[in-house]
Structure 1
Amino acid sequence: MIDFDVLEGEVKKGKFENSYIFCGLDEELIKEGIDLIVKKNIEDSLLDLNCIRLDGLTTTFDDIMNACETMPFMGDKKVVIVYRASFLKDKTDSAGTKLYNETLKYLKDLPPYTILIMYYLFNDKRDTPKKSNKVKALDKVSKVVHFDKLKKDRYYKKVEEVFKEKGKNIGKVEVRYFSEKVQNNFNIIIREADKIIAYTKDREITKNDIDKLIANSSEDDIFDLIDFISQKKVEKTLDLLYELLSKSDQHMLIISNIENNFKRLYEIKLFIQSGERVDGIASKFRLPSFIVEKLINQCNKFSLKQLQKIMEICLETENKLKTSGVDKNMEMELMIFNIFMTK
């Protein structure tokens, strides 16, 4: 198993495998990895003939095998790309399991003129290929590439390139500040860059602009936590809670942030019930409209009564931690379970 940096080094040396499994959260980065391999193996004039793309959600084993077995046209290599190949994930239906087993067996007998690239996207940032039994099996017959976070200097440079490609210059200090605040995912980075470019128009980008439009990463974690709660994902909620506690032993601050976020959902729900529109709510909370839309989606998962009760649970937990010598982690777990039990 390798990462993007190693893959790039191998491509530069002209070293290629017969098949690759790409995985990660960042689809833009994965596509860049695919482009590196394609450009080194297929001439631009022959792309339509020797680069085959198959939708991993609808493809069949026969589709994959037929694409791989067909000889390249006027070239030495052909590349077959199976994108969003969800059958590579551990949890799939019977059809996905069958397709995975057939493909796993076929990878041992690929024609030498074919490079097969299949990729799938993680469900969230806490997934890793090492947790997947299917990926472990694939790693024995194929080259698995994990598209994780880029190293700092390379990350900053690539973020700066995103702005330059859109015709917007950004200072070195500002690009680092932006890079540290935004989630390290180029699908998200591109959207956030578009938002800042549209907001600043013809003037220079400042730190103040970035602060106005991009939430802190800690706020993102709390948003994710509440999103998992709204979706009734107990295990993911607890995993994120433990991660937050491991980063910082600040139980009171975490509870306060959770309570404040649920309070905001309660207030937004009241505004919605009174007929307030998204733009009006965005103006009241000084938030971008797309963030408000996400918050509305969250608050729709709860009733006003539930939100009131959840805020009470947070307050009770906060008081316990202040006034007694209880096990803080245990009380935080209990708080999460009580929130899930709220009706």
Structure 2
Amino acid sequence: MDYKSAARDVGKGQVSPVYVCYGTETYLLKEFIAFLTQKLIEPEYREFAVSKYDLAETPLDVVLEDAQTLPFMAPKKLVIADNATFFTGAKDGGKIDHQPEKLLDYMKAPSDFAVIVLTVEAEKLDERKKIVKGLKEVTVPFLPMSAEQLLNWVNRQAERQSFVFAEGAADQLILYTGGSLQALAAEISKLSLFVGAGGTVTGDVVDRLVTRSTEQNVFILIDDIVRLRLNRAFEILYDLLKQKEEPVKIVLLIARQFRIVLQVMELSKLGYSHQQMASQLGLHPYAVKIAAEQGQSYTPDKLERILSQLAELDYKMKSGKVDKVMGLELFLMRLAG
């Protein structure tokens, strides 16, 4: 089941005795656990009716024993256990013997007063394992949203906080945060406070208020170069230099982005979807979408030449054969030309 279906069932009172939650979108996973807690445990009981364990340090037996022990002064209890790596194909280098088959035994006669939530931060589970097959019906994935889903999520969050985005501003916000839901939620709250109820967030407001990492600034710099917004591209470059960012690091980040553009182009020829590319490259689907758009301005040969030029620039910078800032400026001007 997906997390929306699981949340709907919980809202209707149809709660599973066990949930196996996996995925890399930890913000949604935490939201689901918070919603489950809110629906199951009254506020006055949460201090002693919610147990948390780390399976890297605690045997699964302890978790199951807790779930089978009557709750203290509360009708229900919630038992949360993180790092359930025995669901994945990862090698278990720990010293804990979990015996996951006991979880299948527990499912035959689960406690009617407890709900167990097992979490693991992994893109997928090992479906060859008996434990994964046995708990498939209660497995909930929390994976990165597609670009379209992410845009819809951002607009819904704005609606909940009583403001709207001007055309293109929501896309700009996603670009500036790299699609991280944690960062997006924080920035949306900040923007809401700035424009107030009924306000409109424009691209200029996003530009002024949203915090960007060095990696995101380089990402945006390249996007501006591709779209021939040269003045803004150089503004970003000079801001990075004012912040004492090392030109060699900026070159490496530029090379990384062009390498991604080339990889996305090659995978697209093989028929991969954006979601599949994101999984293959370890990127957010929104970053893949932007890379695909950037790639429309280049041929594979041109991208390879750019990467070769960047490698040469990196060598000249490190060997003192070119002034670092001037070398970077000249490269960007040639790139724009």
Asked if TM exceeds 0.5, the reply is yes
Alpha carbons of 1:213 and 1:72: their partners in 2 closer, same or farther (altered >3 Å)? same
8 Å CA contact 1:22, 1:146 repeated in 2: yes
Report the residue type matching 2:203 in the other structure.
T
Q: Which of 216, 219, 223 is residue 215 of structure 1 equivalent to?
A: 219
Alpha carbons of 1:53 and 1:179: their partners in 2 closer, same or farther (altered >3 Å)? same
- Equivalence for 2:171: 177
5 Å-filtered alignment, 1:113-128, equals 113-122=113-122, 127-128=123-124
- Equivalence for 2:235: none
- Equivalence for 1:339: none
Q: Which of 142, 145, 160 is residue 147 of structure 1 equivalent to?
A: 142
8 Å CA contact 1:25, 1:185 repeated in 2: no
8 Å CA contact 1:156, 1:175 repeated in 2: no
Structure 2 gaps, min length 5: 224-252, 273-291, 330-337
How far, CA to CA, are the matches of 2:267 and 2:63 in structure 1?
Answer: 41
Residue 10 of structure 1: how far off its partner (Å): 0.9
Residue 51 of structure 1: how far off its partner (Å): 0.8
Report the residue type matching 1:46 in the other structure.
Y
- Equivalence for 2:239: none
Report the residue type matching 1:171 in the other structure.
F
Report the residue type matching 1:43 in the other structure.
E
8 Å CA contact 2:51, 2:78 repeated in 1: yes
How far, CA to CA, are the matches of 1:241 and 1:135 in structure 2?
Answer: 37
5 Å-filtered alignment, 1:157-306, equals 158-160=153-155, 171-178=165-172, 181=175, 183-187=178-182, 189-190=184-185, 193=187, 205-206=202-203, 209=207, 213=217, 215=219, 223=256, 241-242=266-267, 245-246=270-271, 253-254=299-300, 256-257=302-303, 260-261=306-307, 263-264=309-310, 267-268=313-314, 271=317
8 Å CA contact 1:26, 1:147 repeated in 2: yes
Report the residue type matching 2:127 in the other structure.
S
How far, CA to CA, are the matches of 1:262 and 1:111 in structure 2?
Answer: 62
8 Å CA contact 1:225, 1:241 repeated in 2: no
How far, CA to CA, are the matches of 1:6 and 1:64 in structure 2?
Answer: 26
Residue 69 of structure 1: how far off its partner (Å): 2.3
Alpha carbons of 1:152 and 1:110: their partners in 2 closer, same or farther (altered >3 Å)? same
How far, CA to CA, are the matches of 1:88 and 1:259 in structure 2?
Answer: 44
8 Å CA contact 2:87, 2:132 repeated in 1: no
SS state at 1:133 partner:
coil
8 Å CA contact 1:138, 1:144 repeated in 2: no
Count the aligned residue pairs. Answer: 258
Structure 1 gaps, min length 5: 228-236, 286-343
- Equivalence for 2:245: none
Report the residue type matching 1:253 in the other structure.
T
- Equivalence for 1:132: 127
Residue 114 of structure 1: how far off its partner (Å): 1.1
Residue 20 of structure 1: how far off its partner (Å): 0.5
Residue 119 of structure 1: how far off its partner (Å): 1.3
- Equivalence for 1:19: 18
Alpha carbons of 1:246 and 1:147: their partners in 2 closer, same or farther (altered >3 Å)? same
How far, CA to CA, are the matches of 2:258 and 2:139 in structure 1?
Answer: 30
Report the residue type matching 1:117 in the other structure.
V
8 Å CA contact 1:18, 1:142 repeated in 2: no
8 Å CA contact 1:80, 1:115 repeated in 2: yes
How far, CA to CA, are the matches of 1:262 and 1:136 in structure 2?
Answer: 48
Q: Please give the root-mean-square deviation of Cα atoms over the aligned residues, in Å.
A: 4.9
SS state at 1:17 partner:
coil
Deviates more, 1:3-12 or 1:63-72: 63-72
- Equivalence for 1:10: 9
SS state at 1:148 partner:
coil
